[in-house]
A and B are shown apart, each in its own frame.
Chain A
Amino acid sequence: MTKPAVTLSHVSKTFHLPLERASGIKQAFINRIKGIKGYKKQHVLKDISFTVEKGDFFGIVGRNGSGKSTLLKLISEIYTPDHGEIKINGTLVPFIELGVGFNPELTGRENVYLNGAMLGFSNTEVDAMYNEIVDFAELHDFMDQKLKNYSSGMQVRLAFSVAIKAQGDILVLDEVLAVGDEAFQRKCNEYFGSIKKDQTKTVILVTHSMESVRQFCNKAIMLENGQIVASGNPDKVASQYSKMFQNEYIMEKQNDASGGNIGNQISDVMIKSINIIQDERTTKVIKFREDFSIEFNIESGQKYEDLVMGVHVINQLGQDALSMSTRSLKQFGLKAGKNTIRFDVQNVFSEGGYYLNVAVGFREYTKFLIQDHGISNFSIIGMDKAKYSPSGLFYPDVKIEVIQ
């Protein structure tokens, strides 16, 4: 076995944030005398341990302020940890923020060489990768122009090309999939696809795009408040990440919704449980384009007739993706005691998170017996990106025929 590319063991990082502008001798002196610390401690990372093996494509996800960027800076040895140890095996090329070390007064060519030197490459080494860098950036005609005359997109393209074409062993990337125009992004995606198979290159990627995590990474971790809250399988981590936002969204929705939520009793009728069923198993994660059922267990205090039950499937954007109603039945009612109502759904939905709004009321709208909003969230995953274009809301069967 080869040695792991990056090993973190029990790494913690605390920042001392100055409370007032303490970057003066006078203030420092006054603080010393008064015994004021002059800063606030912020624990950015707490006891982080993980291993990135050689050849891994390692994803780091988490919301803003969860400590991702600090973690990358620790790995890139820009910051030093307060506790714990970080071991790096191989040359590391960081791409932390845009335009690493670029000087606007220098030409593109000069910047490539300067940047190369920063990363620890000699001029002959940069010579060897120079053409590939320019090719990838597609800036052949601009290399002898000063960087200040580049568009911002061109600058980013050049910086990114240097980072990925530099012959480093470990590539550390922060939020780079959002750079460049669509053509360049496609190119980057292709490149990541190829690098994923390359067992000599190790990539550590921080991103907000769960799509990239699923597509490229073979391992991932999720950070929340400076701690690892999920790790391992990228699909699992990506789902948990999406779910975190979804849950928050639903919480918000629940607080908004005047009608209350599950268990919020407005009559003697109550939803006891909702089961999402696929392949005869109760689940919260539905496979893309595979049909599923939603089963409601409702308890009623008495017999009701002439009712209507409506179920809305709401997507992440708050859109009503599907409205189902028992109006299509001739008659719908509840008997006293336990009732089970099952909706078999043809799954044409896109990947993402969904939740339900459920209402049961009299046919004439005189009274609601149940009004539950933002309940029973589930997600749909596993879209084959090679087969389906990811931007759609619905994926019904489409027959494509080439006539002539």
Chain B
Amino acid sequence: MFDKIFSKRHRVLLKELVKTDFKLRYQGSALGIAWSVLKPLMLFTVMYMVFVKFLKFTDGTSTYPIVLLLGISLWGFFTEATSVGMQSIVARGDLLRKINFPKYIIVIASTMSALISLTINMFVVIVFALITRVDFTWWAVLTPLSIIQLYLLAVGVALILSTLYVKYRDISHIWEVVLQALFYAMPIVYPISMVMANFPAVAKVMMLNPVTQSIQDVRHNLIAPETVSTAWNTLNHAWYGLIPIAISITVFIFGVVIFNKHSKKFAEDL
């Protein structure tokens, strides 16, 4: 699989599929592609009103609204990449039954679309950050690393889920619930310091979750190196900080293996 990822044929197909996905996403809407910026902006406003102004979740720092927005964007990416990726093989079933082409490209293409949305959202976040005068530091250079980690994790999960989804359609409902549970089990809309103050052990377990770890890393590196806690400084030992990264890599490799093993039969099972 890896030796072929960068073959010309596969690159062309991936490009065409991503282009199509993106072209079709806002098709027929009056504002078109503007929605890809407008939607996160509007969603952020709602979240901001609810959690910052109304519920008054805050860690006491001035950067919290931006940290909140960033977390929501990254979580949104993970949700979209895994959910759309999960259904991508079944959604393109008519194609799989007619033509032979590398199936993983379908999953990659749908996660890539989510990645493009994330990139746009990140720009919105950075604009907000500039407006609210966040001081960027050299830590920001590390941001892409965490996003790559989160992307690999999302691809791994999407590969596993899409393979299962071909056989068991129940997975989509289960995953919806799991995502909802994960959302509340992670410091996305509430600050980790809130958990830390009351249940330090729970906070540490939360940090072992690779999604939490990567989101916290991005928040820390990009926006607030002083105030956001990460897996590295929450878990007492530096080696523990590697656990979520190891989980991400394991999930990715497992996803590739299980997908490769079953993808030959997709056309028949669909």
Contact = CB atoms under 8 A, between A and B. Distances in A.
B98 A103 contact: no
A28 B99 contact: no
B41 interface: no
A358 B151 CA distance: 80
B17, B96, B99: which has the most chain A beta carbons within 10 Å? Answer: B99
B170 interface: yes
Interface of A: 15, 23-26, 28, 73, 76-80, 94, 96-97, 100-101, 103, 105-106, 110, 113-114, 117-123
B168 A96 contact: no
Given A26-B170, A79-B268, A105-B27, A114 B16 contact: yes
Given A24-B169, A110-B20, A120-B9, A96 B99 contact: yes
A160 to B, nearest CB: 13
B261 interface: no
Contacts of B24: 103, 105-106
B98 A101 contact: yes
B95 interface: yes
Nearest to A70: B268
Secondary structure class of chain B's binding surface, majority of residues: helix
B97 A78 contact: yes
B39 interface: no
Given A114-B20, A122-B8, A23 B168 contact: yes
Contacts of B15: 117
Interface of B: 8-9, 12-13, 15-17, 20, 23-24, 27, 95-101, 167-171, 264-265, 267-268
Given A25-B168, A28-B167, 18 more contacts: A24-B170, A25-B170, A25-B171, A78-B98, A79-B268, A80-B265, A94-B98, A94-B99, A94-B100, A96-B98, A97-B98, A101-B95, A103-B20, A114-B16, A114-B17, A117-B12, A120-B13, A121-B12
Contacts, number: 74
A94 B13 CA distance: 17
Contacts of B99: 76, 78, 94, 96, 100-101, 118-119
A23 B167 contact: yes
Nearest to B28: A105
A114 to B, nearest CB: 5
A159 to B, nearest CB: 10
Contacts of B101: 118, 120
8 contacts: A28-B167, A28-B168, A94-B99, A100-B95, A101-B98, A114-B20, A118-B99, A122-B12
A85 B44 CA distance: 56
Nearest to A27: B168
A69 B97 CA distance: 11
Nearest to B174: A25
Nearest to A92: B100
Nearest to A121: B12
A123 B15 CA distance: 10
Contacts of B265: 80
Nearest to B164: A25
Nearest to B15: A117
B168 A24 contact: yes
A117 B16 contact: yes
A77 B100 contact: yes
B91 to A, nearest CB: 12
Contacts of A79: 267-268
Nearest to B264: A80
A113 B16 contact: yes
B169 A78 contact: no
A121 B12 CA distance: 8
A209 to B, nearest CB: 22
A25 B169 CA distance: 8
Nearest to A106: B20
Nearest to B265: A80
A78 B267 contact: yes
B23 A97 contact: no
B16 A100 contact: no
Closest 7 CB pairs of A and B: A117-B16, A77-B100, A117-B13, A120-B9, A25-B170, A100-B98, A80-B264
